[in-house]
Amino acid sequence: MDFISLITNSPLLPRILISVIIIAVSYYLSIVLSNYVMKLRLKAPPEVIFNITRVIKMSLLALGFLIVLPILGIELSGLLVAVGFTGIVVGLAAQQVLSQFFSGISLLLEGRARVGDSIRIGDDWGVIESIGLMSTQIRLWSGEILTIPNNDLMSSKIYNFSRSVARRVDISIPISYTSNISKALEVIRSLLDSKELVLAEPQPVLIVDSLGDSAIIIKALFWVPSQEFWTIRREIIKEVKESLEAVGIEIPYPQRVVWLKELSK
């Protein structure tokens, strides 16, 4: 009688004890291998290494359970037959799971987005909190956590603002029709030139964009470091208004001219 037969024919209590030991050893090995992988200097993002360790842990635990089942008297052949009857249902469900899994792996390997990146997907803006094997979590600027299935994320357009060194700021500045356009352009350009974080190359561009209903629209286009985009944009809008008002250039309210015609009796 071989060792496996000896164990399977032993009383239930020793088999349970042996099963617990096998599961414990599997868990211990999964921790050891995971820690080993974490210590390796792999040229991969941290989230990729994290998910690799998760796969190692799940695989070793699954192996441990497969070893334990015969010891507890559960025949794998009978289990496989039972699985065969539900294979179609499980297969259909597994397709979606596997799709999410491989989409997550592809997303991590391609490097389209990483934890900490500032991104936009559709109308949603935020920072990536985590990239899992099944889904990705994004903390929106409004504070909510948005969870997106990896399959949906892979099929979406991802605008990643953290990968670019600089971003262009576009600001529309209305001035009244009675204001001096050349003076306004001079004031705005002087302000942009005085800001250290407004890049000199590419040079800021000022254009008279359109003639609106109640204002002449000047558009200012300039580049700033990506990480300073929102801060500089807010500062420039505030200081443009103050600088124009200081030289008597009006930023008008929306206006309408109404002509009244007196009808003769």
Q: Give a yes or no: residue 114 inside a domain.
A: yes
For residue 115, what are the contacts with CB-CB under 8 A and spacing of at least 6? Answer: 45, 46, 47, 128, 129, 130, 131
- Distance CA(99)–CA(152), nearest Å, equals 10
Mean pLDDT of all residues in 128-143: 83
pLDDT higher than 80, residue 109: no
**Which has the closest alpha carbon to 173: 255, 256, 254, 251?**
251
- Distance CA(163)–CA(75), nearest Å, equals 54
Residues 149 and 118 in one domain: yes
Residues 76 and 147 in one domain: no
Among 85, 119, 150, the domain-final residue is: 85
Which is more confidently placed, 64 or 191? 191
CATH code for position 124 = 2.30.30.60
Residues 156 and 178 in one domain: no
- Distance CA(250)–CA(178), nearest Å, equals 8
- Distance CA(112)–CA(233), nearest Å, equals 26
* Total domains in the fold of the chain: 3
Q: Give a yes or no: residue 55 inside a domain.
A: yes
Residues 156 and 170 in one domain: no
Among 160, 189, 222, the domain-final residue is: 160
Among the listed ranges 1-10, 49-58, 181-190, 228-237, which one has the minimum average pLDDT value?
Answer: 1-10
Residues 188 and 238 in one domain: yes
135 three-state secondary structure: strand
pLDDT of residue 204: 92
Q: Give a yes or no: residue 200 inside a domain.
A: yes
pLDDT higher than 80, residue 26: yes
The range of the structural domain enclosing residue 192 comes to 166-246
Residues 205 and 240 in one domain: yes
Quote the percentage of the chain above a pLDDT of 70: 71
Considering 20-34, 154-168, 176-190, 246-260, the range whose residues carry the highest mean pLDDT is 176-190
Among 39, 70, 85, the domain-final residue is: 85
Query: Per-residue pLDDT tens for 195-219?
Result: 988 998 889 999 999 998 889 999 9
pLDDT of residue 85: 45
Residues 66 and 132 in one domain: no
Q: How many helices (H) and strands (E) does the chain have?
A: 8, 8
- Distance CA(11)–CA(2), nearest Å, equals 16
Q: Give a yes or no: residue 132 inside a domain.
A: yes
Give phi and psi for 185, each to the nearest 5: -60, -40
pLDDT of residue 1: 44
Residues 78 and 7 in one domain: yes
Query: Per-residue pLDDT tens for 177-190?
Result: 999 999 999 999 99
Quote the percentage of the chain above a pLDDT of 90: 23
Considering 113-117, 138-142, 186-190, the range whose residues carry the highest mean pLDDT is 186-190
pLDDT higher than 80, residue 45: no
- What's the pLDDT band for 63 if we cut at 50, 70, 90? confident
